[in-house]
Structure 1
Amino acid sequence: MKLIGIVGTNSAKSTNRQLLQYIQKHYAETVDIELVEIKDLPVFNKPADKTVPDSVLDIATKIEAADGVIIGTPEYDHSIPAALMNALAWLSYGIFPLLNKPVMITGASYGTLGSSRAQLQLRQILNAPELKATVLPGEFLLSHSLQAFDQEGNLRDLDTVKKLDAIFDDFRIFVKIAGKLQNAQDLLHKEAENFDWESL
């Protein structure tokens, strides 16, 4: 199974990146996970000719070739970071790599809530007509993330690891099931291509 892990921040040092790196290493024997950075993408400016930057097309190609996607999001002001919103805006502008793509949401935060409000908002965004990802019902929340990892980058708490293992096992099953639910994909793709917010 091939997965893409999207680091949903432009921060140089982030426990969300650290969490995705742990997931990549922890499940390396069963799943191939490639981490993708969005920190250098240009700011979305809705070009009239719908020209999408090569850096975005490169990410889109990787997503399309993958069986599923993991998105790690921090929470800023009860919301996802601007960098992640920017990436999703590009990835839904005349291209549709996330359409019907199985997605698992993870999030780490310094406090107790583990980016729960940002994850809820991300679910709503991923349900937008031009995105329409297939999102795993459960999510992984990592609280007190500054204290969560040891010097080797491993999660310290055994119960946290067990919870992540359970959710990740569910996601692997979810990916296999979602891969068989393709009957409406062509129709959804056509609807996404023809969707226009300005004509509503």
Structure 2
Amino acid sequence: MKFIGLIGSNAAKSYNRMLMQYMQRQFSAQVEIELAEIKAIPLFDEDQIEHAPQCVLDLAKKIEAADGIIIATPEYDHAIPAALKSTLEWLSSAAHPFKGKPVMIVGASYGNQGTAKAQENLRMILNSPGLEAYVLPGNEFLMGYAQDKFDQNGKLHAPKCEQFLTECFNNFISYVQCISHKTQQVSV
């Protein structure tokens, strides 16, 4: 099974990137997680939909080929970052790779509520026309105080957090298998 780990931040130092890198290492025996950055994706330009940047088309191909998508989002002002929103606008207009794809949302932040508002915002966006993703319900991984949860090597050193992440991830694998099975039945 292959997943794309979309890092929803364009910051040089990002706890969401650290979280995705940790997941990539931690769950490598179960699945392959290819990390995808959004740094190079330009601001969405509706006038350029017919001539989408190659980096957008490349990301769309990776998403289409994946069995599932994990999006790690920070939270700014109770919402997802503008860079992630812009990336999703490109992907909902120039291509439609999320349609019918299972998606897991995770997030890390400095505050005590994790990325609760951003994840709620992202769920709503992923359900919109043009994206139409199948977002894993009921498994919100909201890492608060991320600066205290990772060591200098990017390893999680919060056992309860690690346990809950593993539980959510295993639920996502089951969800991906269910969606895949459903899709195969419809195709037959």
TM tier, shorter chain? over 0.9
The match for 1:83 is: 83
Equivalent residue letter for 1:73: T
Instruction: State the Cα distance separating 1:48 from its structure 2 match.
Output: 5.6
The match for 2:24 is: 24
**Structure 2 CA distance, aligned partners of 1:34 and 1:48?**
28
The CA deviation string for residues 7-56 of structure 1, in whole angstroms up to 9 with x for no partner, is 00110100000000000000011110000000111111112662211100
Uncovered stretches (5+) of structure 1, i.e. residues with no partner: 187-200
Of 100-109 and 42-51, the range deviating more from structure 2 = 42-51
C-alpha contact 2:5 2:72 (8 A) present in aligned 1: yes
Instruction: State the Cα distance separating 1:184 from its structure 2 match.
Output: 10
Instruction: State the Cα distance separating 1:179 from its structure 2 match.
Output: 1.1
C-alpha contact 1:115 1:141 (8 A) present in aligned 2: yes
1:9 is aligned to 2:9? yes
Equivalent residue letter for 1:164: L
C-alpha contact 2:102 2:176 (8 A) present in aligned 1: yes
SS in 2 for 1:4: strand
**Structure 1 CA distance, aligned partners of 2:13 and 2:147?**
11
1:112–1:49 CA distance, 2 compared to 1 (3 A): closer
The match for 2:119 is: 119
Instruction: State the Cα distance separating 1:150 from its structure 2 match.
Output: 1.1
1:185–1:123 CA distance, 2 compared to 1 (3 A): farther
**Structure 1 CA distance, aligned partners of 2:101 and 2:186?**
10
The match for 1:108 is: 108
* TM-score, normalised via structure 2 length: 0.95
**Structure 1 CA distance, aligned partners of 2:184 and 2:119?**
28
Structure 1 segments of 4 or more deviating over 4 A? 183-186
1:131 is aligned to 2:131? yes
Choose 1 or 2 for highest CA Rg: 1
C-alpha contact 1:107 1:140 (8 A) present in aligned 2: yes
**Structure 2 CA distance, aligned partners of 1:87 and 1:49?**
12
1:64 is aligned to 2:64? yes
The match for 1:180 is: 181
- Aligned residues: percent identity? 48
**Structure 2 CA distance, aligned partners of 1:118 and 1:92?**
19
Cα RMSD over matched residues? 1.6
C-alpha contact 1:24 1:32 (8 A) present in aligned 2: yes
Equivalent residue letter for 2:175: F
Of Structure 1 and Structure 2, the greater helix share is in 2
* TM-score, normalised via structure 1 length: 0.89
Number of residue pairs matched by the alignment = 186
C-alpha contact 2:49 2:90 (8 A) present in aligned 1: no
